[in-house]
Amino acid sequence: MSIIEVKNLKKLFNGREVLQGISFSVEKGEVFGFLGPNGAGKTTTVRCVLGLLRPDAGSAQVLGGDLGADDPLRRRIGVLLENNGLSDRLTAQENLDYFARLYDLENPDERVAEMLGFVGLEERKDGLVGTFSTGMKRKLGIARAVLHDPEVLFLDEPSSGLDPEAQRMVRDLILDLSKKEGMTVFLNSHNLDEVQRVCTSVAILHQGRIRAFDTVQRLREGEEGTHIEVVLGDPDSVGRAAGVLRGMPGIKEVEEEGESVTAVLTGESAAAAVRALVMADCAVEEVRKEQQSLEEIYLAAVHQAEGSA
Ligand SMILES: Nc1ncnc2c1ncn2[C@@H]1O[C@H](COP(=O)(O)OP(=O)(O)OP(=O)(O)O)[C@@H](O)[C@H]1O
């Protein structure tokens, strides 16, 4: 079962179809990036998924249920939206204490201390949140969102307005939650660099339609296979290396370019290609995998959609 399952979701505002039947799913432990230009329909989608907005057609399920209709289910998710839900007039600890009581946690003091430590704010626990920097508030907001140990975490633009160092801390927190706690994360973001670094899969939404949906790795490697460039240490190896690669069934489009050979791996790993080249005595100096950046993929998806509109 997918953790988040959106099927043919439609939403109309004033007769205009803002979501035109979108579908995607997020599996357990994934960090999913939801991308799209301003006005694409991301917030509308998230509001439908969170059960805050009723779709006109289709369904949006989280952990097998409808968050709008199932109270106990809501306890199993954590949400950090633009407004971090913290009170400026309370200290960091008092803010978390309040939510720990709200969630009726078993060992509230321990959990609050643990989460203050997790986000690196234990030394500032008695500071008033109103005096905190944007980065500190964001970290405390994340601690607040995961205090009750949810299975799924929704984050809306978690790094917006943060300096590079604070962005990095937020990124590390997300990776920790996913890798160490096995949390599934839904990340709404315009920061393509951040998404490329932390997300395992992405969907690109544009004008109410999903234009791309796949793992980050598959999107970056391209549909036809992984492009590699093998740089050879001596010119004599080039022809021999090209011959070896052409003889491998899972490799196509082998071309000689100066002191390099380029190829597309369709059913063979880069490691297997390198092994074959070394066995054939080719002086392999460097192997580069040529991957598109998420930014290139995003811009291509959006422009292609605009071209076809
Ligand atoms: N309550 C509403 N009533 C009418 N139109 C709405 C409403 N909410 C959103 N829209 C419209 O739906 C479209 C999608 O908006 P949405 O906020 O979902 O986009 P978004 O992808 O989240 O954009 P951004 O990145 O700027 O936050 C926009 O054209 C917006 O004006």
Same-domain status, 37 and 60: yes
Ligand 1 atom at minimum distance from 190 CA: 25
Mean per-residue pLDDT, 115-138: 94
pLDDT at 32: 98
With respect to residue 298, please indicate whether it lies within any of the assigned structural domains. no
Same-domain status, 215 and 227: no
Name the domain boundary from 219, 245, 276: 219
pLDDT tops 90 at residue 142: yes
With respect to residue 136, please indicate whether it lies within any of the assigned structural domains. yes
Model pLDDT for residues 194-213, shown as the tens digit of each residue: 999 999 999 999 999 999 99
In testing the pocket of ligand 1, which one of 43, 298, 302 has its CB within 8 Å of the most ligand atoms?
43
pLDDT at 226: 86
With respect to residue 129, please indicate whether it lies within any of the assigned structural domains. yes
**How many Cβ atoms from other residues are within 10 Å of residue 45's Cβ?**
27
What's the pTM? Answer: 0.86
Distance separating alpha carbons of residues 55 and 252, to the nearest angstrom: 46
Same-domain status, 75 and 155: yes
Decide: residue 122, CB within 10 A, 0-12 exposed, 13-18 middle, 19+ buried: middle
Same-domain status, 191 and 66: yes
Average pLDDT, the chain: 92
Model pLDDT for residues 153-191, shown as the tens digit of each residue: 999 999 988 899 889 999 999 999 999 889 999 999 999
Q: Which domain holds residue 241?
A: 223-290
Q: Whose CA is nearest to atom 18 of ligand 1?
A: 41
In testing the pocket of ligand 1, which one of 9, 14, 16, 18 has its CB within 8 Å of the most ligand atoms?
18
* CATH code of the domain containing 256: 3.30.70.100
Q: Whose CA is nearest to atom 9 of ligand 1?
A: 44
Q: Which residue has the higher pLDDT, 27 or 307?
A: 27
What share of the chain in percent tops pLDDT 70? 99
In testing the pocket of ligand 1, which one of 9, 10, 42, 50 has its CB within 8 Å of the most ligand atoms?
42
Ligand 1 atom at minimum distance from 37 CA: 25
- Please give the distance, rounded to the nearest whole angstrom, from the Cα atom of residue 67 to the centre of ligand 1: 21
Name 112's Cβ contacts closer than 8 Å, sequence gap at least 6.
Answer: 93, 96, 97, 100, 147
Name the domain boundary from 219, 249, 264: 219
3-class SS of residue 105: coil
Name 150's Cβ contacts closer than 8 Å, sequence gap at least 6.
Answer: 75, 76, 77, 78, 183
pLDDT at 23: 98
Name the domain boundary from 199, 219, 239: 219
Q: Whose CA is nearest to atom 10 of ligand 1?
A: 13
pLDDT band at 89 (very low <50, low <70, confident <90, very high): very high
pLDDT band at 308 (very low <50, low <70, confident <90, very high): low
With respect to residue 302, please indicate whether it lies within any of the assigned structural domains. no
* CATH code of the domain containing 82: 3.40.50.300
Distance separating alpha carbons of residues 252 and 232, to the nearest angstrom: 19
Protein residues whose CB sits closer than 6 Å to any atom of ligand 1? 13-14, 18, 36, 38-44
Provide the domain count of the chain.
2
Same-domain status, 211 and 271: no
Same-domain status, 164 and 262: no
pLDDT at 116: 96
Same-domain status, 205 and 63: yes
Q: Whose CA is nearest to atom 31 of ligand 1?
A: 39
Same-domain status, 112 and 250: no
pLDDT tops 60 at residue 309: no
Q: Which value does ipTM take for this structure?
A: 0.96
